[in-house]
Amino acid sequence: MKGTVGELGEFGLIRELTSRLTTTPAVRLGPGDDAAVVAAPDRRVVASTDVLLEGRHFRRDWSTAYDVGRKAAAQNLADIAAMGATPTALLLGLVVPAELPATWPLELMDGISDECQVAGAAVAGGDVVRGDAITVAITALGDLQGRRPVTRSGARPGDVVAVTGWLGWSAAGYALLSRGFRSPRAFVEAHRRPEPPYAEGPAAAALGATAMTDVSDGLLADLGHIAEASGVSIDVKRAALDVPAQMTDIGQAVGVDPVDWVLTGGEDHAIVAAFPAKAKLPARWRVIGEVLGAGAGPQVTVDGAVWEAAGGWDHFGAPAG
């Protein structure tokens, strides 16, 4: 595919984009009509929208179009999993400049489509318009398979807090990239292409998770959302956190406490949940803390104290009370 988006034209681009898609039985009617039709077997649909902007959420010199597609899809599909649902379909709203090489949106779509396949979903429809800034607006849909949605508001004092997936890897990769490094690759790749543990969301719901969210703003910030919505406090045990030796090495090299990445780094899309203390958690879940009464107000602490650091913590704002 040679030339620019402008040379290919709007209908030409849409034709090329849709020709690259695979589908699933859940997509009853795919792209090309006024709307798509997607199966919703349990008479409810879970739906989430996110918008990614070039410059703010991705950089073309740091990530390939394919990786941006993987990441954009992963971010939305993780939101579905974090409700305890299985992703079914995704819709894409795309803004592309006329002078953009046509390969860019096509490789973006390959990334989106491949990430959908990882999660068991498929692209069902979308819209493409020309504009100055590359904008990727994704809506993901999912199926609860008869389960209750696991919101942020059900955590109760006495619950354990557990996490599955990666924490801090994307932040460490970002720290490397922003200092001009391109390795160690595992961390750089983690920033470019997160790997949310999709299947663990529905599994956690089946295990009785009382509250759940994906870690997009940083562990403390996202636990803060659960604390606030549930009217509880949450204490994280620093010793329970997994800080890989290589992450410690990177931290020393760039002058950052790697625990800060684990606690405040977002974008890995790990899944964190509260479970009744008696729940038998599978090996992929790591218990990292406990749910406490709200006391003077909902807050998140690390070993009993407010974590003093930059990063995702700002999103949470000051603890109440």
Is residue 120 within 8 A of residue 234, CB to CB? The reply is no
> Can residue 320 be called a binding residue for a second copy (CB under 8 A)?
no
> Can residue 16 be called a binding residue for a second copy (CB under 8 A)?
no
Q: How far apart are CA 70 and CA 144, in angstroms?
A: 23
Q: Count of CB atoms within 10 A of residue 197's CB?
A: 21
Stretch binding a second copy (CB under 8 A), from 87-95, 160-168, 178-186, 245-253: 87-95
DSSP state of 313: H
Is residue 108 within 8 A of residue 66, CB to CB? The reply is yes
Residue from 69, 126, 168, 196 binding a second copy (CB under 8 A): 126
Stretch binding a second copy (CB under 8 A), from 82-90, 160-168, 190-198, 280-288: 82-90
The residues, any chain, with a CB within 8 Å of residue 24's CB and separated by 6 or more, are 88, 89, 120, 121, 122
- Closest CB to a second copy among 37 and 243? 37
Closest approach of Cβ 76 to a second copy, in Å? 9
Name residues contacting a second copy, limited to 52-81 (CB under 8 A): 52-53, 56-57, 79-80
The residues, any chain, with a CB within 8 Å of residue 15's CB and separated by 6 or more, are none
Residue from 13, 17, 38, 116 binding a second copy (CB under 8 A): 38
Burial classification of residue 315, based on how many CB atoms lie within 10 Å of its CB (0-12 exposed, 13-18 middle, 19 or more buried): middle
> Can residue 83 be called a binding residue for a second copy (CB under 8 A)?
yes
What is the contact surface with a second copy in residues (CB under 8 A)?
11, 28-29, 32-53, 56-57, 79-80, 82-83, 85, 89, 91-95, 124-133, 135, 137, 139-142, 144, 149, 151-153, 212-214, 229, 315, 317
